[in-house]
Structure 1
Amino acid sequence: MSFKSLGLSEPLLKTIAEQNYTQPYPIQQEAIPAILKGSDVLGIAKTGSGKTAGFVLPILELFQDKPAPKNRTVRALVLVPTRELAVQIGVVFQTFGEKLPRKVKTLAVYGGVSINPQMIALQGVEILVATPGRLIELLSYKALSISETEILVLDEADKMLDLGFADEMKDIFFLLPKKRQSILFSATLGDSVDAINKNLLKNPLRIEIAEEEQNIDQITQTGYFVDPERKGPLLRYLIKTQEMKQVLVFVSATRTADNLVEKLNKNGIQAAAMHSKKSQGARTEALNKFKSGKLTVLVATDLVSRGIDIQFLPYVINFELPRSPKDYVHRIGRTGRAEASGEAISLICPEDVHHFKIIQKKMGKRVTMNESYDLNLQGY
C-alpha cells in the first residue's frame, strides 16, 4: 500500500518522499483514511509504531481547504504527557507542513520554561501541541480559546493518566465543544483509558497494533548482588574498571538521578541527569553531549528515556529496577541495536531479588548473577 492510496494530496506526498518514507506503517494505513473522513479513532500502539504521522498528515490535509481561524482560536489540539513528546510532534507538523500551499501554524507549549514567549507565539496558531498543565495555565490567562476546536488528539493517554493528569484532562474536555473529532492513542487500554474512550469518542474506528517482541539476544545480561550502601560505589567501580565510555543508567526517581549525578561527578565521572524536573534546555543539552561522546554517563528515568535513541550504545545499567518486566526489556533494549552487541547490568539489593526473579521469568531468560561482597570498593 502507498501513501497516495490513503487520500493524501501531491504536496504532502512530495514531502513524505523527501523524508524517505516509502510505505505507510499499519497504523497509518488505517488511521489516515479514517481521520480524513472525520471519524473518531482509538489507536492502541506502542511508541515508535508510526502513530504521530498517522494523525499529523491527515490533520494538515484537512486544514488545506479551510480558511484561517479567528485570532487565538486553536483548530486542532494535541495533548501529550511530556515536553519531549510535545517538541517532537511539533517538529513533525512543521516538517510535513513546510511546503504545503496554505501554511498552517503549529506551536508546542509545555511547562519548565517561561510562559510569556509562548503566549506571544500563540498569535495565529491553528495546531497546538500541549502538555495539560501548561495548557490550563494559558487558558487561565485567556491566551487562547479551545471553544471552537475541531480536532482533539490525545497521544500516549496512558502516560498522561500515570502522571496524574486526569483532573487537568477533565477540565480541558469540559471547555471543548461537544461537536468535534476525537483521536485517542495509547500504548495500553487500561480501565482509565477505556473510561476516557467511552466518554470522549463516538463510534470510533478501533486500531490495535500488536507489539512485536523485542529481540534481546544480542545483549549480554549480568547482575550484581549488592547492599544498598554499596550500590553507588559499585556503580562507579564498574564504570571505571570496565572503562565504560558511554553508559545509560536507569533510576526510578528524579531525586535519585540528581544525587547519583552529583556523586559521579565528584568522583571524576562526567555525568548528567535527564528527567521531568529538568528544564527543556538542560535535557536537550545533556542528551546531545551524551550522543556526541562528551558525556560518559546519562542518568535517566523511564518517562524521558523514550526520547533516547542511540544506535550503538554499549552499556545500560539498571541502578534501580523498573516496576514491570516489559519496562525492563525496553530499558535494556536501548543497547544491542542494529545487530551490534551490548551489555545490560542490574544492581540487585536484597529487597529486589524476588522482583528480579519475576522479571527473568516473564522475559524467558536467566541473568548471570555475581556477588559483589568480595569486591574492594574502597575509594570508589
Structure 2
Amino acid sequence: MDVDDRHEKRGVREDAYTLSSGRGTVRFRHLLEHIQDAVVEFELVGGEPIVRGFNASFVETFGYDEEAVLGGSLNDLIVPSWLTEEATELDGRTDAGMVNYRVVRRQTADSLREFLYRGIPSADDDPFGFAIYTDLTDTRRKERRLEVLNRLLRHNLRNQVNVIAGYVELLEEQHENQHTMELLACLAEAAENLNGLTQEAGAIDRALSEPLPEEPRVDCVAMLERLVDRSREEFPHAVIRTQTPSGVHVAATERLEAVLAQLVENAILHNPAAEPRVWLEVHRVAGGDWVDVVVADDGPKIPVMEHETVTGDSPITATSHGAGLGLWLVRWTVQRFGGVLSFGTSDAGGNRVQLRLRRADGGS
C-alpha cells in the first residue's frame, strides 16, 4: 500500500496536507506517516473534536485500534474525565483560530501519560485543526526523581558532614595519641571532601536552574582580569599569566566566572610544584562567530578516562564517572551557553582546557 492509499484509508481529507505542488503533498504525507510525534487531524463539530485523520505514531503512542479512532470524539478517547474542562478550553482556543502549546495529561489504552500538546487550527478559517502530541512521561519522571534525589542527598549529606566534623573536633581535644590523631585527620579530610561535594552540587543546581537572559552577553577579558587579581591574592605561590586581546564579549552570563575560577583553582591545588603555573588566554576563532577561552597549566594531566567521560567521548560506568563534580559543572555550564568544552595538552606539558563560546551579537 503506497502513501496515498494509506492516507485515503484513514479518511484524511484530500486537501488536508496540500503544499505548493502535488509532489510536495506526497512528501508531506510521507513525513506525517513516519514522524515520531503523534499527529491527529480533527473537525470541531458542535465544539467537539471529531477525528478525521491520524498518522501511524498516533496509533502506536496511544494504543487504540484505528477503527475506534477514526470518526470518534478525540476527547472521549484520550482525555481523562476530570480534565474535560481543560480540553474544552483548548478546543475553544482552536475554534477561535489560536495555537495551543501546553503540557497535558492524556490517557492511552493502558496508562495515563504526559505530553507536550500543540494544537494548530486550520489556516482556512474552517472548523478543522491538528493536534500534535510528544510523549514527555519518561523524561519528566526522570527529571523529578533527579530533583528529589539532588535536594534530599545534598541536605542529608550536609547534615551528616556537620555531625562528623563536630565529633572529630571533640575527639581531637581528648586524644593525644599520634596514631589516633592521624586517623582523625583522615576522617576530617573525608568530611571536608563530602562537604565540598555538596557545595559543588549546589553550584550545579544554581547554574542549571537559573534562567538565561534572551541575549546573554559578558566581557570575558574583563572577567579574566578580575579572576586573576583574586587568584593571585588567594594563591600567592602560583604564577598566573594572561594572554588576551582587548574586550571580547561572549554569549554567557556571570556564571562563566565561577566556572573559570573552578578551573584555575583545580590547576593550582592539583599541582604539587612549589610554584604552579597557570595561563589564561582568549582567542578569536577564525570566522569571527566563536571565541576560545583557555585555562592551561603545567601540572599533572587529568586522566584521559575522566575528561572523556565528562565530554561524552566515553560512557559513564560504575568505575568511570569522574572524580568529582567540578568538571561536570564546567561542561554543563558551557553547554547551557551553547558552547563546547574540550581538553588537550598545554605547551608546558600539562592540561589545556578550552571553552569555545559564541561571540555575543554586536560585541567585540
Structure 1 length-normalised TM = 0.25
Asked which structure has the greater CA Rg, the reply is 2
Which protein is richer in strand relative to its size?
A: 2
Which protein, 1 or 2, shows the higher relative CO under an 8 Å CA cutoff with sep ≥ 6? 1
Which protein is richer in helix relative to its size?
A: 2
Structure 2 length-normalised TM = 0.26
